[in-house]
Amino acid sequence: MHIEDFRAFCLSLKGVEEGFPFGPDTLVYKVMGKVFCISGLNGNPLQFNVKCEPEKAIELREEYSGVIPGFHMNKKHWNTVLLDGLFSDEQAREWILDSYDLVASSLPKKLKNELNLMP
């Protein structure tokens, strides 16, 4: 997956905004104002952080060498995914979507309702 595909996928999700709150080299995706995915723009290979349920985070780290504890994040809840060719783009999109769903499900009721009303 290239950065352009990564960006397009993240932005295709409902209620998502893209920003650079940590500087020009770190791309951050938020659903209704809450972070669900972060990527450095200069990584080779591309890598990104996604939120996970704690048990799943550990399972993924044990199963895939390209999944490590979240860099600069709470390692209990976040994984860093290295897109080094050891798993498919489809798998990477699934992990991004899982993070999105996890964060969206934790939104306050008002924001959940706003998100559900979006096209």
What's the pLDDT band for 119 if we cut at 50, 70, 90? confident
* Nearest to 34, CA basis, from 4, 13, 63: 13
Decide if 31 is inside a domain.
yes
Q: For residue range 80-116, what is the model confidence (pLDDT) as tens digits?
A: 999 988 889 999 999 999 999 999 999 999 999 999 9
> Taken in order 38, 42, 66, 74, is the CA torsion positive or negative?
negative
Decide if 117 is inside a domain.
no
CATH number of the structural domain spanning residue 41: 3.90.1150.30
Decide if 66 is inside a domain.
yes
Q: For residue range 55-79, what is the model confidence (pLDDT) as tens digits?
A: 999 999 999 999 999 988 999 999 9
| CA 90 – CA 16 distance, rounded (Å) | 20
Q: For residue range 2-35, what is the model confidence (pLDDT) as tens digits?
A: 889 999 999 999 999 999 999 999 999 999 999 9
Q: Residue 91's domain spans which residues?
A: 3-108
Decide if 116 is inside a domain.
no
Decide if 45 is inside a domain.
yes
